[in-house]
Structure 1
Amino acid sequence: MVSEYLKQNTAEYHDAAEKLFNSEKIFNKTFTLEDYRKIIHTNYLMLLHSENKIFSSLSDKFNEKLQLNERKKLPLIEKDLSGLALDNQKPSLHLEFENEHEALGAMYVIEGSTLGGNVIAKQLSKTEGFDQVTFNFFGCYQENTGSMWKNFKEILDSEVKEENYNEVLSGAKKLYTFLLSVN
């Protein structure tokens, strides 16, 4: 299953992202509004430079099966930017996906961040100083987070053949590398 292959082969990137964003501070309630601004800004830059490219790289089959319209996160994180008095930007950095499989790998990173974001939103909503924060991006799927993630993984696992695993992994690594470098 490609989802397990991705999980195993991107673990070091995932750990680096958690370290970059000071994730341990989220759970010991020392995460600050400035930490939150950083995590939102960095995720915004990732989505700004990737979401449209990912979606336009996917065939109609994936558009329909993955319900891409329900998975758009850029407008949501732009609401978070506004609430944090951060500025919108224009894409200025180079990030390309060679094919549909790379796009699916990149989407794996974004959908995974949504899964983790749901946990972050729940924790921060109980943290002092976050009572006025609306978690548009991190809370985007609300109570459907688990089912949206499960649906994404099932489609990925059923549609991606083993000979394409490395291309999917390449897309995931590209997006993780981009995320880790734009802060």
Structure 2
Amino acid sequence: MLADNLKEQTLTYHQQLEKKLVSQIKGLNTKEDYLQLLQLFYGYFGGLEDRINLFIDQNILPDHAQRRKTGAIADDILALGGEPVTKATGDALPEINNADQALGAMYVIEGSTLGGSIISKMISGKLGLTTGLSFFNSYGENTHQMWDAFKAVLNKQPAEIEAAITEAANNTFLKFKNWIEQHD
């Protein structure tokens, strides 16, 4: 199954990004620190979603509109008194020129929702926040259901596009890690 293969074939880049993000999250000491983290996500995910939206629609992913994250991140930033930053463009983002590559990038975004509730609890507990957590709470109790639905779409894709999806997912992980390092 494509979703299982993706997990295996993106493990190295996924772990590198996860290590970077965990370090960022553990280093949060103030609301302003958290605001900067949200702005990192907004910049990268915002630019990424703009590219994805050129190739993914309800025909490919029926619940695509529900899966957009940029609005939730912007809402959290505003709730904490900040302003959304400029979205990533150009070489800061992975190449997305077709639906295959867009699905690979979405694999990274959708996968990020799985740890979101844990991250939300960590941040809430550490900083005492009750607002500004909608992005990390994402789908709430429906997170695993939404993930399973996304994996089902991936698993329906023809085998010949697996390499393109995998390469795009790896590039998305790598470019996000680079984005974070550039904005440390």
TM-score above 0.5, yes or no = yes
Separation in 2, partners of 1:36, 1:89: 14
CA shift at 1:120, angstroms? 1.1
- In structure 1, the residue matched to 2:65 is 69
Aligned to 1:80: 76
Structure 1 residue ranges, 4+ long, deviating more than 6 angstroms after superposition: none
How far apart in 2 are the matches of 1:85 and 1:45?
17
1:12 alignment partner AA: T
- 1: distance between equivalents of 2:118 and 2:107? 17
Cross-structure match for 1:102: 101
1:13 positional shift: 1.6
Q: In 1, Cα distance between the equivalents of 2:44 and 2:25? A: 22
Q: CA deviation at 1:25?
A: 6.3
1:113 equivalenced with 2:112 (yes/no): yes
Q: CA shift at 1:103, angstroms?
A: 0.4
Q: Residue 98 and residue 78 in structure 1: after superposition, are their counterparts in 2 closer, same or farther (change >3 A)?
A: same
State whether residues 42 and 87 of structure 2, in contact with CA within 8 Å, keep that contact through their aligned partners in structure 1.
no
Q: Aligned pair in 2 of structure 1 residues 60, 146: CA closer, same or farther (>3 Å)?
A: closer
Could you list the per-position Cα deviations for residues 104-133 of structure 1 after superposition, in whole angstroms to 9, with x for gaps in the alignment? 0000000001111122113333x2323344
Give the drift of 1:62. Answer: 1.2
- Cα gap change, 1:38 to 1:10, in 2 (>3 Å): farther
SS state of the match for residue 54, structure 2? Answer: helix
The structural deviation recorded for 1:24 is 9.4
Distance 1:24 1:93, change over 3 A: closer
Distance of 1:53 and 1:40 partners within structure 2: 20
Equivalent residues of 1:21, 1:38 under 8 A apart? no
Shift of 1:18: 1.9
Q: TM (normalized to structure 1)?
A: 0.84
**1:131-153 CA deviation, whole Å, 9 max, x = no partner?**
34431111121111110001100
Residue 63 of structure 1: how far off its partner (Å): 3.7
Among 39, 42, 51, the alignment partner of 1:41 is 39
RMSD: 2.2
Distance in 1 of aligned mates of 2:83 and 2:25:
25
Matched residues in 1 for 2:112 and 2:33: separation? 16
Given the alignment, which residue of 168, 172, 175 partners 2:169? 172
**Match in the other structure for 1:162:** 159
Unaligned runs of 5+ in 2: none
Listed one character per residue, the Cα deviations across residues 134-175 of structure 1 (whole Å, up to 9, x for unaligned) are 3111112111111000110011112x1221111001211221
CA distance in 1, matches of 2:121, 2:130: 14
Secondary structure of the corresponding residue to residue 114 of structure 2:
helix
Paired AA for residue 97 in structure 1: I
Residues 42 and 179, structure 1, Cα contact 8 Å, conserved in 2: no
